[in-house]
Amino acid sequence: MSDGEDPTANADGDETVVRRDRFAGGPARSFLSSLADDERIFAADLAVDRAHVVMLAEQGIVEAETVGEILAALDEVEAAGHAALSDGEDVHEAIESAVISRVGPEGGKMHTARSRNDEVAACIRYRLREDALALLSTLVGAREQLLAVAREERETVMPGYTHLQPAQPTTVAHWALSYEQALQRDTGRLLDAYERINQNPLGAAAFAGTPFDVDRERTAELLGFDSVAENSMDASATRDFLVETTSAVATLATTLSSLAEDVVVMASKGHVELDDDYSSTSSIMPQKKNPDTLELVRGRTGDATAGLNGLLTNLKGQPRAYNRDLQRAGRHAWDAIDSATESVEVAAGAVATADWPEGTLSAAASEGFATATGVADLLAMAGVPFRTAHEVVAEAAADLDADEDAPDYEALSAVADDVLGDSLSQFVERDAVERALDPTESVAMRDSRGGPAPAAVAEQVSGAKEVLTAHRETVEARSDAVEHATDRRETEVSRYV
């Protein structure tokens, strides 16, 4: 994917043929070629070619008969497939050569009023848009699965941890919603990036525009781009849309890695059992059920973060306009987005099909005096300064025997006498304390907005569903717009073929 430093081809196409013959040999040809990697944008290039030559015909730049022959040749190239292309520097040159071999020198007119610089920029945007929409669709489905888990497990109490130490009881629903919320933001970042992906660079030529009377808005319409990338130098040179998208993907991959780590740890404690479809066993230890898929989700985060780092390193220090370094830029984004798309599907599927053992989780929610904060909150709500209440509960925790998970009412009352100088019953009723010591009741107490109490979770599910619906409609609308542009392009092509 390079420009070869060629000026815009003239109307008879001879310049393109002469230039390529001159630079056709040499020991570095295979090193320069990106043809194999360009298979990913083969279909995109054909779409860009068709939109461009239709516009050339409509503008009277190339006669309709010649455009018809070029478009018919492009159909043949598409039918033959990428593998049938002859050797070349890139897919753009190879497709043009294939057209010329079918049409003759007049086929070179397809490259009138453009450079490979704006051509490849358009192809990358066109294909990246497709990949972004596929990832967004997968994300919407994953979030729907997490919401289903939240609705089903709204009252399933589980232990919550900070620093991997027992902290406070929560619920499976609250945990699942925490990741749905994160995936909301990941979706939003990709939707924002999409706006800057979906701009048309065609008509920018090498970087300094073209003297031909091109209609950049028309090619944008035929390709489904929302707008035109205005400045011709920026349009051909920039790859910041790749950076923005890959950055969003790397952030998403980090979200998934955290989710995967949680599930791997929970599985090791018996707090969740993955479906067999998302597990494997040991080659030597038949009792093992390993959360391998989640470990791979965690491991694949490196694909996305490495992609972002590789892309930024590639772009760092490049002067403006086209440089051959850019030939290596796209692969970093492709690797990242492919890896993340698969990871989203697997991670969400693993959670959605998992079994959450209520008895085991409830028992674990009591471990390590995880209800301590609830007792301290009770005292604070009764007027005891929170730090003093914290001291009461901390001393009671320090007095626990090794086999005890939590102090009883009497133990707490004894400490209260020492710290507060009065009986615990003077501040809170015994029943209230004993409820606070129970994980289920402790969860029910925390019904503030965003909390784990069932009522609070229900509100979160409702709000998340509204956002999900809006995101789904946006993704569908953008997908529909692309499909409509494809239909328009095919209709226009049929006028000439």
Average pLDDT, the chain: 91
Neighbours of 401 (CB within 10 A): 6
Tell me the CATH number of domain 14-112, given options 1.10.275.10, 1.20.1530.20, 1.10.1660.10, 1.20.1250.20. Answer: 1.10.275.10
- Report whether 3 contacts 115 (CB < 8 A): yes
CATH number for the domain formed by residue range(s) 118-157+168-363+461-481: 1.20.200.10
Average pLDDT over residues 186-192: 98
- Report whether 184 contacts 467 (CB < 8 A): yes
Average pLDDT over residues 190-210: 97
Domain chopping of the chain, boundaries: 14-112, 118-157+168-363+461-481, 372-437
Which pLDDT tens digit goes with each residue over 85-132?
A: 887 778 888 899 999 999 999 999 999 999 999 999 999 999 999 999
* Selection from 114, 131, 3, 7 nearest residue 51 by Cα: 114
Average pLDDT over residues 448-471: 97
Q: Report pLDDT for 27.
A: 56
**What element of type H or E holds 409?**
helix 409-420
Q: What is the 3-state secondary structure (H, E, C) of 215-259?
A: CHHHHHHHHCCCEECCCHHHHHHCCHHHHHHHHHHHHHHHHHHHH
Total-model pTM? 0.90
Average pLDDT over residues 290-296: 94
Residue bearing the bigger pLDDT, 401 or 47? 47
Is the pLDDT confidence value at 412 over 60? yes
Is the pLDDT confidence value at 243 over 90? yes
Percent of residues, the chain, with pLDDT higher than 70: 93
Which pLDDT tens digit goes with each residue over 320-353?
A: 988 888 888 999 999 999 999 999 999 999 999 9
Structure-token pair, residue 85: 């292309």
Q: Report pLDDT for 372.
A: 92
Structure-token pair, residue 240: 């910041």
Q: Report pLDDT for 270.
A: 95
**What element of type H or E holds 200?**
strand 199-200
Q: Report pLDDT for 13.
A: 40
Average pLDDT over residues 434-463: 95
Residue with tokens 């400045």: 231
Q: Which residues are catalytic?
A: 163, 282
Q: How confident is the model at residue 9 (pLDDT cuts 50, 70, 90)?
A: very low
Residue with tokens 């984004």: 333
